A and B are shown apart, each in its own frame.
Chain A
C-alpha cells in the first residue's frame, strides 16, 4: 500500500520535472526563465526529499537541501543580479521557433521512453520510470542549450540537465556517493560559471553572448 503511494508520488514529481523542463523550453524571457528554473530546482529537491523518505536514506536530505539552497535560491538570484549589472537584454534569442522546439522536445521524450521500455522488471519498475523521465529531462536540457543563443540560458539548460541527473541518481535505490556527486556538481556549476567565467568575461567583453566569444575562435582564415 505504502509502496503504491510512494511510487505514485515519486512518479508525480518526476513527471512534474519533465513538465517544468518543457516550461523552460517554452520560456523566452530572461527573468521568467530564472524563476522557472528556480521552480525546476524546487521540484528536484522535493523529489529527492521524497526519495530520501521512502528509501530511509537520510543522507539524501543533504542533496535535497543543496538543490534547494544552491539552485533554487542562490544561483537564480546571482544570475538575476548579473543580468541586471551587465545589462544583458531581457529577451532570449532563439535559434529555431519555440513551436518546433516544443515538438522536438516531445519527440525526445518519446524517444527516451522507447529506449527505456525494454528494460526488464528485474531492475525495478520505479527505477525504469524514473530513468525514462530523467533521461527526457536531460535531453530537454541539451535541446535548450542548443536552441538558445546566450550564455545565461545555456547555463540554465546545463543546470536542468544536472537536475535530471540528480533525479536519476536518487531514483537508483541506495546508490552511494550521490551526495558527493551532487556536491561536486554544484561546485562545478557555481564555482566555475558564476565565479571565474562571468567575472573574466565581463572583464574582457562586457557581454556573455556567445557570439562575442566566437570572434576569437582559432584558425580564422
Chain B
C-alpha cells in the first residue's frame, strides 16, 4: 500500500519536475509541455544505428530509469511513507545512483556514434570527479544520526536541520548531486553545443522518452535525497509531513535546474581538479567538524 502511495506521489512529482525543467529550458510556463513532448516522442520513428550494440542500446534508458527508481525507494516522503527502510539506506541510495554512470556508459557506447561515445566517456570522467563527494557528506550526516537509516537521519534533524548543522556538507552534496544529474553547468554527457545531444543524440522515439523520464526521476530522487539529508525531510510546522517534503523537494529541484543555467559548462579536467584538490579536503574537514560537533553537543 505505501509503495503504491509512494509511486503515485513520485509520478506527480516527476510531472511537476518536467514542467519546471521545460519552464527553465524554454522560458514559459506551460503545464502541458511535458505531456505534449512525451506524446510527440512516442509518435516518432525509433531509429537504431546500423552497427549499434543492440544490448547496450536497448538497456541504457531502462537502466537509467531503474537506478533512479531504486534510489527513490529508500527516501522517506513521510514518517511511514517509504518503500523499504533499509538499515544501510543512505549507502544503498549511493549504490543505486552509481548505476546512472553505467547506464550513460552503455548509452554512449551502444549506438556506435562518435559524439555519443565521447559523451559517455565524459560522464565517466565526471563521475570519477564527484563520486567521493557524494559519499563523504552522507557519512557526515549518518554520523550525526548515528545510523544509516534514512528515517533515523530525518529524525535526527528534529532539533536542527543538517543544512545549518553542517552547511559545508550541504554545499558539497548539492554540487555533487547537480553533477550526478548532469544538469547544466555539469551537463557534459548531453552537451548541446558540442556533442549535439551527446548521449541522447542517437536516441529517438520511445527510447528517448524513457531516457528523458529516467532523467526526470533522477532529478526528483536527488532533490528528495537532499531534502531528506539536509532539509529535515518531512518535518515542518503546520503542513502535513508529505506536503512539507513535496514543497521542499520541488523547491530543491527548481533551484537545481535554475542554479547552473547562467554558468558556462565546466570542462572535465577542471571538474576533476576541483573535485579532488578542493572537494575532498573540504569533505574530510566537514566530517571532522561534524565529528567534533557530535562529540561536543549532547
Q: Do A and B bind each other?
A: no
